[in-house]
């Protein structure tokens, strides 16, 4: 008999705990509902921005490429082992351009690579001046800058 009474008491306690959890969840939902209101404002602003007229597309014959000139610092490549420094400098160049042009598709011209390696793979240049152009499809081309 004691076992039956104990199990009834345990079931009653479980029901109380479940009710408490439900109440806590309701409170959380209410709090989240209050927090979500500012997000709704952001969503409304985004919808308004989408409704604004978009930029005109360029004619088919013209290429709207963005062209910039950068002086890329490559000195961090000197922290690598001597035999890997030129490769590290090329990676640094690629990362720098991808970060500044906001696209990971980077094509480096052979002349740029040769310029970095003019003093050999063990002593690459500390910085290099390049011209970067971004095409319609998002591909980024890196060429040596004149001068």
- For residue 6, the model assigns a pLDDT of 73
Whole-angstrom Cα distance, residue 140 to residue 18? Answer: 58
Whole-angstrom Cα distance, residue 58 to residue 64? Answer: 7
Quick one: average pLDDT of 37-52? 57
Higher pLDDT: 3 or 42? It is 3
Query: What is this structure's pTM?
Result: 0.57
Quick one: average pLDDT of 59-82? 84
Residue 34 has pLDDT above 70, yes or no: no
**Bridge partners, 9 (sequence order):** none
Structure tokens at 86: 């030129």
Burial of 143 (0-12, 13-18, 19+ CB in 10 A): middle
Q: What is the three-class DSSP state of 127?
A: strand
- For residue 53, the model assigns a pLDDT of 46
Question: Based on C-alpha coordinates, what's the Rg of the chain?
Answer: 31
pLDDT digits (tens, 9 = 90+) for 4-30: 777 778 888 888 888 888 888 888 777
pLDDT digits (tens, 9 = 90+) for 89-135: 999 999 999 999 999 999 999 999 999 999 999 999 999 999 999 98
Quick one: average pLDDT of 68-88? 95
At 69, is the pLDDT very low, low, confident or very high (cuts 50, 70, 90)? very high
- For residue 49, the model assigns a pLDDT of 56
DSSP codes of every residue in 46-98: HHHHHHSPPPPPPPTT----EEEEEEEE-GGGGGS-GGGHHHHHHHHHHHHHH
- For residue 22, the model assigns a pLDDT of 86
Q: Which of 47-56, 74-83, 107-116, 128-137 has the lowest mean pLDDT?
A: 47-56
């Amino acid at each position: 008999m004691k076992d039956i009474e104990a199990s009834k008491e345990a079931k009653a306690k479980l029901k109380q705990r479940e009710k408490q959890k439900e109440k806590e969840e309701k409170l959380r939902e209410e709090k989240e509902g209050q927090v979500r209101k500012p997000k709704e404002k952001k969503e409304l602003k985004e919808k308004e921005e989408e409704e604004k007229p978009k930029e005109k597309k360029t004619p088919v014959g013209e290429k709207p490429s963005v062209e910039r000139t950068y002086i890329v610092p490559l000195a961090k490549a000197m922290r690598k082992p001597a035999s890997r420094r030129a490769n590290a400098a090329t990676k640094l160049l690629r990362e720098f351009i991808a970060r500044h042009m906001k696209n990971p598709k980077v094509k480096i011209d052979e002349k740029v690579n040769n310029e970095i390696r003019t003093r050999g793979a063990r002593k690459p240049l500390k910085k290099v001046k390049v011209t970067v152009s971004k095409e319609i499809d998002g591909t980024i081309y890196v060429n040596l800058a004149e001068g």
